[in-house]
Amino acid sequence: MKGSITRVFLTIVVLLLFSTGAYASGTKPGYKGYARGNALITAAELKHLIDSKDPNLIILAAENELEYRMGHIPGSFMVDRPDYEAPAETQNGITGNLINAEGFTKLARQLGINKNSKVVVYDAKYDATRLWWAFFYYGKTDVRVLDGGIKAWKDAGYDTEFLAPERRNGGNFVAKVTYPRLRVDTPEILALKDSPKGQLWDDREQKEFCGEELKKGAHRKGRIPWGKFANWELFKQKANKAEWLPAEEAAAAVKKLGADPKKDQYFFCQSGVRSTQALFTFYLLGWSLDKLHNYDSSWIGWSKDASLPIVTGCGTAPTVASIP
């Protein structure tokens, strides 16, 4: 009975979201019920592409060296964060920001990525969406994220490799800022303080939000006063943090957060990585791309500037949406 009531509740929420424009209008729901479900790919679909020897397929493992060497999808290239991070000296001392178009072009070409390449990105937790976001920002939109990541691949019983393939080089992709509003910086976040036109989501974990934990790279504990807690894990399966919830559950969580499709949505975390998990989920649900903004400098950048306001402490656990 309880399960039936929950399903009815979620169905009502989804219908309400359709009526308020939270889903892309006129778009038939796809994988897992998402309006843009084709931005995700299943392990079985990826295995089919590999077996068919599609020459345009490029698989990227958004993992560190240890994760990658413990077994990766055959033919996949490791792309770790340092590979596409801008030098701190070019970012006013802020670490973790996205490299410029020239640097991203060089990286993509080293991976053999062409204009017509079909790129699939996977991870073990949350880095894949950071790469998806970077490609989108620079004009490469034929990029899909493996739902469930490496765990889903291994759970399906598919083979893995331990040695890295040779990089193809010779790609012809040219990175050009195509969706500039996907990436924003501190002045725009500061302007949200007195603006009713945008909502700011803090996608870090509770101890960070409450000022109880300072992660490496940040300079002060705490949070942006007008940011609302929205833990990145909110949209993921508990048993596999690389797997998305069904659309109706993700939509219910977004509704409970109080996200307004008429307003611009801003996301941040420690370094603009986990925040792309939330941004990508809003995208999957059909939210307008020009209203989705990742604060690239995130908490590292904000906490570095002593003139910017912060608050610390949580009298009680911060309120966050949860699935009934």
What's the CATH code of the domain at 162?
Answer: 3.40.250.10
Q: pLDDT digit string (tens) for 282-318?
A: 999 999 999 999 999 999 999 999 999 999 999 755 6
Q: Determine, yes or no, domain membership for 98.
A: yes
Task: Report DSSP letters for 69-134, one per residue.
Answer: HT-B-TTPEE--GGGGBPPGGGTTT--SPBP-HHHHHHHHHHTT--TT-EEEEE-SSSSHHHHHHH
Whether residues 172 and 190 share a domain: the answer is no
Residues 56 and 171 in one domain: yes
Binned at pLDDT 50, 70 and 90, residue 319 comes out as: low
Does residue 71 lie within any of the structural domains? yes
Same domain, 91 and 119: yes
Q: Are residues 46 and 171 in the same domain?
A: yes
Last residue of a domain, one of 179, 194, 226: 179
Q: Is the pLDDT of residue 192 over 70?
A: yes
Residue 272 has pLDDT above 70, yes or no: yes
* pLDDT recorded at residue 29: 82
Whether residue 33 is found in the same domain as residue 149 = yes
Q: Are residues 164 and 264 in the same domain?
A: no
Q: Is residue 318 a part of any domain in this protein?
A: no
Q: Are residues 215 and 105 in the same domain?
A: no
Q: What percent of the chain has pLDDT over 70?
A: 88
Buried b (16+ CB within 10 A) or exposed e, 114-137: beebbbbbbbbbbbbbbbbbbbbb
Mean pLDDT of the chain: 91
| Tokens found for residue 79 | 């792309």
Domain that holds residue 83: 28-179
Question: Are the CB atoms for 35 and 23 separated by under 8 Å?
Answer: yes
Determine, yes or no, domain membership for 186.
yes
Looking at residue 24, its pLDDT comes to: 42
User: What is the value of pTM for the model shown?
Assistant: 0.90
- The pLDDT score that the predictor gives to residue 157 is 98
User: Do 174 and 247 fall into the same domain?
Assistant: no
Among the listed residues 268, 293, 258, the one whose alpha carbon sits nearest the alpha carbon of residue 209: 268
pLDDT one-digit tens code per residue, 224-249: 999 999 999 999 999 999 999 999 99
Q: Is residue 124 part of a domain?
A: yes
Last residue of a domain, one of 179, 196, 214: 179
CA–chain centroid gap for 277, Å, is 3
List b or e across 48-81, with b for residues whose CB sees 16 or more CB atoms inside 10 angstroms. ebbeeeeeeebbbbbbeeebbeeebbeebbbbeb
For the chain, the domain total comes to 2
| 149: in domain | yes
Q: What share of the chain is helix, strand, coil (3-state, %, to 5)?
A: 40, 15, 50
319 in any annotated domain: no
- Asked if residue 8 belongs to a domain, the reply is no
Same domain, residue pair 203 and 134: no
- Percent of the chain clearing pLDDT 90 (strictly above): 85
Same domain, 194 and 219: yes
Give CA separation, 198 vs 81, 130, 162, 175, 293, in Å. Answer: 29, 22, 45, 28, 10
Note whether 44 and 161 are same-domain residues. yes
Residue 194 is classified by DSSP as G
pLDDT above 50: residue 257? yes
- Distance between CA 320 and CA 146 in Å, rounded? 26
Q: Which of 147, 179, 211 is the last residue in one of the domains?
A: 179
Residues 126 and 200 in one domain: no
